[in-house]
Chains A and B, each alone.
Chain A
Amino acid sequence: MKQVKILIACGTGVNTSTLVCNEVKKICKREGIPAEILHCSVPEIPINSKMVDIVCPANAYKRELDKPVLSLVEFVTGINKEKKEKMLIEKLKELAEMD
């Protein structure tokens, strides 16, 4: 498995992102997915997305990118979180196994 680079983005970058970063770290560790987590503010997504495999905004980010985008807003609201967690794990495993 190769290391997956995940970009987690949120607003001015403090309230929601801390929570989401911690959750994603926990999930990757539990599932044994090698991951590197990067972190930036929303306006910087287009620039930073070039360096990663997947972009996970912790909000309503809607723009299309040339990288897969998976919003993790459910990790903040707690609603449908299990479903989103499954999707994230699947996606990360898929990326980790790609060459």
Chain B
Amino acid sequence: MDVIYKIVQAILGVGATTLLPFIILILGLIFRMKFAEALKSGLLVGIGFQGLKLVISFMATTLQPIITYYQGSGAGTGLTTIDIGWQSLSAAAWATPFAAVVIPLGFILNIILLRLKFTKTLNVDIWNYWHILFIASLAYLLFDSFILGLVIALACTVIVEKMGDLIAKPWQEYFGFEGTTGAIIFHSTTMFPIYWAVNWIIDKIPGLNKIDINIDKISEKYGALGDPSIIGLMVGVLLSVLTRQNVTTTLQVAIGLSAVMILTGRMISVMMNGLSQFSTGAREWSAKFLGEGQEIYIGMDYALGQGDSACISAGILMIPITILLGLILPGNTFFPITLLANLVVYTCVGAMCTKGNIFRLLIGSVVLVIYLLYAQSWMAPLVTKVVNWAGMETTGLVTGGGASNIFAVIIGLIGKLLGKW
């Protein structure tokens, strides 16, 4: 145990950013990539991460006038936390030393459990292991035990797989993706239960359970509003007006945020390019060990479900609703920025639970967004800690999607009760 601790400490001494390419290189070799390709993957992931660090620091500079206004308002509260989005959290999670250990071990455990027929889900969505890496980092930073973080991470991989078994039926029925299932821990264990519960409750209320509305036209007419660059622009103008900025600052904030929204996505794209062969490698690798004939659900990203008319319309309608909730909910400390662009992915989890009933989808989304706003506000100090640990500098508090994952919140809660933060 002591040896592992020392190794981890030594690794952290070098700095996560510098080590990231090597971690990916090793993972690439495990997933049977050629050395040169694995090295290139590692570099791309490292480059994307460096780029994201630049974007985040640019985002902080851009939003500074807004933050200063709220800090100076004297009320002590206000929108002082920055929503850096899942993009940044995922990059940070990949840059932690957990990536090198959790991914191969989690994957091997998955294969063993498949052979034992304990699960039918084969999770090849390697990218979204970051949610689990994030939870592990949280546990490590709170309780100072690398082993505990690792154990929690592996437990999470099993939970995703068991949830995959459960979700496979509604997933395949609604989206029609034969032989696959949804496999992201955040979506499966946080969003899915909320939408499922809302749908279940509405089903029991006479009158309400008959309602369905058709808003297909919304996605046709206002589809462009769901574009990240336009969301950034609108949010920038809105925040500036709310904090009484002059015209010059308003324009700077609006154009700046628009750039941030696009650039974070592009940087993740660079990282993804490095990792895109991992899923293929994982699938081929597992085919060798499992042989033919066994029924398997391939675990996938929930974003595949997007494109359904119900989820786009509801996702776009949720943008103004989410802005409003962010402004009026007492105790919320961040203005949802990147959250807005992700609503269309969240609603596709809901579309599956409600079978595309937009009325239920909207009610469920409102409940979900209220939870996300509070959970992400509350987790902000911890998120900031994890992100800093991964080598991303921040000024003030930051938060992002994924921090509201039910397991992350539970770990935060236990830490709070034990007086760790």
Instruction: Bin chain B's interface residue count.
Output: 35 or more
Measured between beta carbons, the chain A residues less than 8 angstroms from B143 are none
Contact B177–A60 (Cβ < 8 Å): yes
Within 8 A of A (CB), among B81-106: 87
Closest chain B residue, CB of each to CB of A78: B283
Contact B280–A16 (Cβ < 8 Å): no
Contact A43–B219 (Cβ < 8 Å): yes
Q: Please measure, in the bound complex, the distance between the C-alpha atom of A18 and the C-alpha atom of B180, giving whole angstroms.
A: 20
Measured between beta carbons, the chain B residues less than 8 angstroms from A76 are 300-301, 304
Measured between beta carbons, the chain A residues less than 8 angstroms from B176 are 60
Digit string of B144-180 for contact with A (CB within 8 Å is 1, else 0)?
0000000000000000000000000000000111111
Contact B269–A18 (Cβ < 8 Å): yes
Interface membership of B190, Cβ < 8 A? no
Interface membership of A82, Cβ < 8 A? no
Can you name 10 A-B pairs with beta carbons within 8 Å? A11-B306, A15-B272, A16-B303, A41-B226, A41-B227, A43-B227, A58-B304, A61-B306, A77-B179, A78-B283
**Given A45-B223, A46-B223 in contact, is the A15-B344 Cβ separation under 8 Å?**
no
- B288 CB to closest chain A CB (Å) equals 15
- B40 CB to closest chain A CB (Å) equals 13
Contact A15–B309 (Cβ < 8 Å): no
Measured between beta carbons, the chain B residues less than 8 angstroms from A9 are 307
Interface membership of A47, Cβ < 8 A? yes
Digit string of A46-66 for contact with B (CB within 8 Å is 1, else 0)?
110000000001111111000
**Given A14-B272, A44-B224, A60-B176 in contact, is the A78-B280 Cβ separation under 8 Å?**
yes
Measured between beta carbons, the chain B residues less than 8 angstroms from A59 are 303-307
Closest chain A residue, CB of each to CB of B273: A18
Measured between beta carbons, the chain A residues less than 8 angstroms from B308 are 60-62
**Given A60-B304, A77-B180 in contact, is the A43-B224 Cβ separation under 8 Å?**
yes
Contact A16–B226 (Cβ < 8 Å): no
Measured between beta carbons, the chain B residues less than 8 angstroms from A11 are 303, 306, 344-345
Measured between beta carbons, the chain B residues less than 8 angstroms from A47 are 223-224
Interface membership of A73, Cβ < 8 A? yes
Q: Which residues of B contact A (CB under 8 A)?
A: 87, 124-125, 127-128, 175-180, 219-220, 223-228, 265, 268-269, 272-273, 276, 279-280, 283, 298, 300-301, 303-309, 312, 315-316, 341-342, 344-345
Closest chain A residue, CB of each to CB of B338: A12
Interface membership of A13, Cβ < 8 A? yes
Q: Top 7 nearest A-B pairs by Cβ distance?
A: A61-B307, A43-B226, A11-B303, A43-B223, A59-B307, A18-B272, A11-B306
Interface membership of A35, Cβ < 8 A? no
Interface membership of A37, Cβ < 8 A? no
Which of A13, A16, A44, A80 lies in contact with B301, CB distance below 8 A?
Answer: A16
Q: Please measure, in the bound complex, the distance between the C-alpha atom of A16 and the C-alpha atom of B176, giving whole angstroms.
A: 17
Contact A18–B306 (Cβ < 8 Å): no
Interface membership of A4, Cβ < 8 A? no
- B295 CB to closest chain A CB (Å) equals 13
**Given A59-B303, A77-B177, A77-B179 in contact, is the A14-B309 Cβ separation under 8 Å?**
no
Contact B265–A77 (Cβ < 8 Å): no
Q: Please measure, in the bound complex, the distance between the C-alpha atom of A73 and the C-alpha atom of B301, giving whole angstroms.
A: 11
Closest chain B residue, CB of each to CB of A17: B269
Contact B341–A12 (Cβ < 8 Å): yes
Closest chain A residue, CB of each to CB of B315: A43
Contact A60–B180 (Cβ < 8 Å): no
Digit string of A17-55 for contact with B (CB within 8 Å is 1, else 0)?
011001000000000000000000111111100000000
Interface membership of A79, Cβ < 8 A? yes
Which of B179, B300, B307 lies in contact with A62, CB distance below 8 A?
Answer: B307
Interface membership of A6, Cβ < 8 A? no
Q: Please measure, in the bound complex, the distance between the C-alpha atom of A18 and the C-alpha atom of B306, giving whole angstroms.
A: 16
Measured between beta carbons, the chain A residues less than 8 angstroms from B344 are 11-12, 42-43
Measured between beta carbons, the chain B residues less than 8 angstroms from A13 are 228, 265, 269
Q: Please measure, in the bound complex, the distance between the C-alpha atom of A9 and the C-alpha atom of B223, giving whole angstroms.
A: 13
Q: Please measure, in the bound complex, the distance between the C-alpha atom of A16 and the C-alpha atom of B348, giving whole angstroms.
A: 15
- A13 CB to closest chain B CB (Å) equals 6
Interface membership of A10, Cβ < 8 A? yes
Q: Please measure, in the bound complex, the distance between the C-alpha atom of A17 and the C-alpha atom of B315, giving whole angstroms.
A: 19
**Given A22-B276, A78-B280 in contact, is the A42-B307 Cβ separation under 8 Å?**
yes
**Given A42-B306, A43-B226, A44-B227 in contact, is the A14-B268 Cβ separation under 8 Å?**
yes
